[in-house]
């Protein structure tokens, strides 16, 4: 283990170098550009054996990833915002074909208005496409999550594409201390990729992506349903094993001062770092504040979240994107649904759209307002000039 100073983008590229995937197809987009740009340099320098396919768009990038993955290759890519949106058409094809493609996704607001800063609208926009989605609070988690994503996605019980996200600029461009494993350790950890099929296997020919109408489409979606359910156990196993090997265990979420909390927030990504400070300061004043930091959004760990929050009477869900559904953000609607049988008061705060900063004082104000949650609107917009 080596301690390095690296940005989120640098450390994702470093993880990709150590994984040494067979194929990377990518198109640059702010703020994810560096992930694939640095990796392209690794290819040019001969540090990896990867076939790097520079393409003319993200639509082509994901199409090339799907094509490469059907041969059984280990395939990775990276993108953000509009780039991810341009991939949308191909993303559910990757999951339907059970291709464990790994994507380094840097969360950035969807246009319009055009914006390059962090919110989660891009990732949330493809939450129902059969991809696993793992959020990272900092560069260390981004690194650890990318390594684990290979093991999770390629597990025979899963075989689904997986995106690991960081928050644009906040993590992607912020230099932090990161503990990086030795190359050989990573090589052994990810191992050789094994695929249940390959379109290049002439002894076992298959037809993929055939037309499925009313008679078979539904049946062909059921394996994705089952794999997403089975992924829950695999994520736990891989996270526990990662902890045993390298000292940093992972689960679906992290509980921060939650067990005796009277007021809790649920958040994802970099905001959790800010929230820890707010919670620590409130705890010093005797306020029982806590947090559930959600790491895995797909599959959604509904039962486990309900269990973890079962004793908390007042809960605020922080969403860094809005569903524009007139009833709150995506994390809110799912957590609230998971908590349907419990009596907690649950309200929603949509915050940080387009990279609008969220600070310690604002999070403390959320906790303050939770003290009178009954009087608060169901959905609140935090940090906006209304």
Can you give the binding site for another protein, defined by CB under 8 A? 93, 96-98, 159, 196-197, 205-210, 212, 215-216, 218-220, 222-224, 227
Minimum CB distance to another protein smaller for 66 or for 180: 66
Which residues, at least 6 apart from 375, have a Cβ–Cβ distance to it below 8 Å?
none
Residue 293: CB minimum distance to another protein, A: 33
Minimum CB distance to another protein smaller for 197 or for 246: 197
Tokens of 16: 């990709």
Minimum CB distance to another protein smaller for 33 or for 195: 195
Residue 200: CB minimum distance to another protein, A: 12
Burial 294-307 (b: 16+ CB within 10 A, else e): bbbbbbbbbebbbe
Minimum CB distance to another protein smaller for 1 or for 211: 211
Cα-to-chain-centroid distance, residue 328:
20
Residue 198: CB minimum distance to another protein, A: 11
Residue 359: CB minimum distance to another protein, A: 46
Minimum CB distance to another protein smaller for 97 or for 268: 97
Minimum CB distance to another protein smaller for 99 or for 379: 99
Minimum CB distance to another protein smaller for 46 or for 205: 205
Cα-to-chain-centroid distance, residue 188:
24
Residue 264: CB minimum distance to another protein, A: 39
Residue 95: CB minimum distance to another protein, A: 9
Burial 224-245 (b: 16+ CB within 10 A, else e): beebbebbbebbbebbeebeee
Residues 23 and 68 sit within 8 Å (Cβ to Cβ) = yes
Minimum CB distance to another protein smaller for 92 or for 313: 92
Nearest to 314 by CA among 370, 266, 375: 370
Nearest to 77 by CA among 57, 117, 105, 51: 105
Nearest to 74 by CA among 43, 50, 92, 95: 50
Residue 329: CB minimum distance to another protein, A: 31
Q: How far apart are CA 103 and CA 35, in angstroms?
A: 10
Residue 209: CB minimum distance to another protein, A: 6
Minimum CB distance to another protein smaller for 192 or for 219: 219
Q: How far apart are CA 340 and CA 213, in angstroms?
A: 36
First to last CA, the chain: 49
β-pair partners for 317: 266, 348
CA distances from residue 220 to 96, 154, 201, 209, 320 in whole angstroms, order as listed: 7, 19, 22, 10, 33
Residue 157: CB minimum distance to another protein, A: 10
Q: What is the dihedral of CA 217, 223, 226, 232, to 10 degrees?
A: -120
């Amino acid at each position: 283990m080596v301690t390095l100073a690296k940005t989120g983008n640098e450390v994702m590229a470093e993880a990709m170098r150590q994984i040494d995937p067979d194929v990377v197809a990518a198109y640059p987009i702010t703020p994810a550009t560096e992930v694939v740009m640095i990796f392209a340099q690794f290819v040019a320098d001969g540090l990896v054996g990867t076939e790097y396919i520079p393409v003319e768009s993200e639509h082509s990038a994901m199409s090339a990833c799907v094509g490469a993955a059907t041969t059984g290759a280990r395939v990775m890519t990276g993108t953000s915002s509009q780039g991810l949106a341009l991939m949308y058409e191909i993303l559910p094809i990757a999951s339907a074909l059970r291709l464990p493609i790994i994507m380094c996704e840097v969360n950035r607001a969807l246009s319009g208005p055009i914006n390059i800063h962090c919110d989660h609208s891009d990732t949330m926009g493809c939450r129902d496409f059969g991809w696993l989605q793992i959020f990272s609070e900092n560069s260390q988690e981004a690194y650890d999550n990318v390594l684990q994503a290979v093991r999770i996605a390629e597990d025979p019980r899963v075989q689904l594409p997986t995106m690991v996200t960081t928050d644009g600029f906040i993590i992607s461009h912020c230099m932090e201390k990161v503990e990086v494993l030795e190359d050989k350790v990573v090589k052994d950890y990810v191992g050789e990729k094994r695929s249940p099929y390959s379109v290049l296997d002439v002894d076992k020919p298959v037809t993929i992506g055939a037309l499925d109408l009313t008679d078979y489409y539904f049946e062909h979606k059921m394996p994705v349903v089952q794999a997403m359910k089975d992924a829950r156990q695999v994520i736990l196993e891989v996270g526990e094993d990662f902890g045993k090997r390298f000292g940093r265990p992972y689960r679906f979420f992290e509980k921060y001062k939650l067990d005796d909390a009277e007021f809790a927030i649920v958040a994802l990504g970099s905001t959790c770092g800010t929230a820890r400070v707010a919670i620590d300061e409130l705890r010093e004043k005797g306020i029982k504040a806590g947090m559930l930091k959600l790491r895995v959004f797909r599959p959604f760990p509904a039962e486990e979240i309900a269990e973890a929050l079962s004793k908390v009477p007042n809960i605020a869900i922080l969403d860094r994107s809005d569903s524009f559904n007139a009833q709150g953000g995506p994390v809110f609607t799912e957590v609230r649904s998971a908590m349907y049988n419990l009596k907690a008061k649950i309200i929603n705060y949509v915050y940080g759209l387009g990279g609008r900063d969220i600070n310690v004082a604002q999070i403390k104000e959320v906790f303050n307002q939770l003290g009178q949650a009954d009087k608060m609107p169901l959905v609140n917009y935090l940090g906006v000039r209304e």
